[in-house]
Structure 1
């Protein structure tokens, strides 16, 4: 690529929580004029808004349109894959496109893929905290994560691609992301402003009129604000583009997103306190979800028990390239009441 050419960027998940936040950062980037950004979205109305209001190129399609994903990746020097961390066919289509690009142009494309610290979970069911803490600078520890772990089959496929040398692959693994996203893309109704983990607990708690918890809530997870996560993508992107030799990729390219950790009890208790303040319950103390409730609120017992698992890590690698997260676990706990208010309002609008 000549220095005069714009950097072609392809991003998935533009209408989502993470993808929307990353796209917003790219549009506000100091070098935004040098970016040629393309996204794929299902919704034709949102596509129109992205094109007319934000100047983004849009292909209307889904992640099941593997031929489109492959072509869009082939046409990009940088791919931000911010959508489903468990969609192996989609990841394979993106890698296939990047392989074609490398073969055709000799370009070494950059992939920034989204996974999650769900990879580190156990089956604690809220009954204990683990002593095992992962560091993303500890490559042998990262390699030791079993292939059966959440998200791992996709991550291993991406590692293989990096080893084959046709892509520089980086994987960001956010933890419990929190905060209601704000900014032009969210105000325009293009992107989803809410996370998944804490809102699932809130919605279940509102329905049962008492804060719910898995087991005793003793297990520990890291947390990270949506603004800090979006910053991590941009810090990594800037580093990968301007200083590739000093930016870890492949097995040295795992970047955890965390800035503190919490117990599940702390989250459920904060939900309970918010519900008491809003007159939705008379007792802030959470009570355990029954098996039937786990199925009702999370889709299955196993999915519910995920909210009682341990996942402990330290984001050492991101910090080593200049990432400076600002929000703490205290901020996470303070963010819960506004989320409870938001979901209470949504329930009232449906009623």
Structure 2
């Protein structure tokens, strides 16, 4: 028997991740049972900062790369809480002999089927800003590129990893190599904003499909405790990833074609919730 924790809570909360790994280590030493920690992060940890010019990069990352060393070097250059948590998972798991695997998805789209929250963060966040501005908005020129994955395809990856772990985890990467990407396609931030404008007009929620560019400082102020770093990395950066190991494990995404209607689906869900 193996004891597994899947952490799908806040990827920015280092302390809770460390606590869960420590708990697994304690259980392992007391019971003799093997343990495994599956942590949910995100690809903003490897994103650059093209608007502020603090860190610019054109690299495409594969989960066969040494992402641990890359994140370690990036963190020494500029700390970022989600990356800090990634590194803690890598390091504490290794120190306490708990196997850890980080799943690092990009933009998540599609409606979830759970009982509470059914929406992700990035696309719904930009839709809500469009409703406030009266038109779609983009930070800077919107040329930054990200990947995306449908929520059901992401769930399928977690299921695959969990099943393999429960069967011994022989093929699942862990430790300092324990990272999996989950991408099925690529977009720019301007692509999303244009789609928001088009969907908003079609649904009668916006009067124009024109996209307004806003500066980073203004976008950071969208929330009271706004951070230019968090806003740029999560909504205006470049973050290109390839799920090479995930596919080698047998992951077969099924919902890439749903990307074409992803923005409209989220827009309708938000309008229905606020009606």
Is the aligned partner of 1:116 residue 2:42? yes
Is the aligned partner of 1:170 residue 2:101? yes
Show the counterpart of 2:132: 207
Is the aligned partner of 1:326 residue 2:254? yes
Show the counterpart of 1:254: 179
| Structure with more relative contact order (C-alpha pairs < 8 Å, separation 6 or more) | 2
TM-score of the two chains, using structure 2 as the length reference = 0.89
Q: Using the TM superposition, give the Cα deviation of residue 252 of structure 1 relative to its aligned residue in structure 2, in angstroms.
A: 2.0
Secondary structure at 2:210's aligned position in 1? coil
Q: Using the TM superposition, give the Cα deviation of residue 327 of structure 1 relative to its aligned residue in structure 2, in angstroms.
A: 1.9
Secondary structure at 1:223's aligned position in 2? strand
Does the C-alpha gap of structure 1 residues 292 and 309 become closer, same or farther in structure 2, counting only changes over 3 Å? closer
Show the counterpart of 2:15: 89
Q: Does the Cα contact within 8 Å between 1:294 and 1:301 map onto a contact in 2?
A: no
Q: Using the TM superposition, give the Cα deviation of residue 298 of structure 1 relative to its aligned residue in structure 2, in angstroms.
A: 4.4
Alignment of 1:2-81 (within 5 A): 77-81=3-7
Show the counterpart of 1:71: none
| Matches of 2:165 and 2:52, distance apart in 1 | 38
| Matches of 1:126 and 1:321, distance apart in 2 | 38
| Matches of 1:160 and 1:339, distance apart in 2 | 37
The number of residues matched between the two structures is: 265
Secondary structure at 2:34's aligned position in 1? coil
Q: Using the TM superposition, give the Cα deviation of residue 304 of structure 1 relative to its aligned residue in structure 2, in angstroms.
A: 3.2
Alignment of 1:124-273 (within 5 A): 124-125=50-51, 131-139=58-66, 141-145=67-71, 146-147=74-75, 148-164=79-95, 166-182=97-113, 185-186=114-115, 191-273=116-198
| Matches of 1:101 and 1:209, distance apart in 2 | 53
Q: Does the Cα contact within 8 Å between 2:139 and 2:216 map onto a contact in 1?
A: no
Does the C-alpha gap of structure 1 residues 249 and 152 become closer, same or farther in structure 2, counting only changes over 3 Å? same
Which of 265, 272, 275 does residue 338 from structure 1 map onto? 265
User: Residue by residue, what CA displacement relative to the aligned partner does 1:61-85 show, whole Å, maximum 9, x if unpaired?
Assistant: xxxxxxxxxxxxxxxx110111011
Q: Which runs of 5+ in 2 are unaligned?
A: none
Q: Using the TM superposition, give the Cα deviation of residue 165 of structure 1 relative to its aligned residue in structure 2, in angstroms.
A: 5.2
| Matches of 2:227 and 2:212, distance apart in 1 | 16
Runs (4+) of structure 1 exceeding 4 A deviation are 290-293
| Matches of 1:126 and 1:259, distance apart in 2 | 28
Q: Using the TM superposition, give the Cα deviation of residue 169 of structure 1 relative to its aligned residue in structure 2, in angstroms.
A: 0.6
Pairwise CA RMSD: 2.1
| Matches of 1:309 and 1:231, distance apart in 2 | 27
Q: Which runs of 5+ in 1 are unaligned?
A: 2-6, 8-76
Is the aligned partner of 1:297 residue 2:225? no
Which of 26, 42, 61 does residue 100 from structure 1 map onto? 26
Show the counterpart of 2:244: 316
Show the counterpart of 1:10: none
User: Residue by residue, what CA displacement relative to the aligned partner does 1:164-195 show, whole Å, maximum 9, x if unpaired?
Assistant: 3521111001110011112xx42xxxx21110
Does the C-alpha gap of structure 1 residues 107 and 225 become closer, same or farther in structure 2, counting only changes over 3 Å? same
| Matches of 1:144 and 1:295, distance apart in 2 | 26
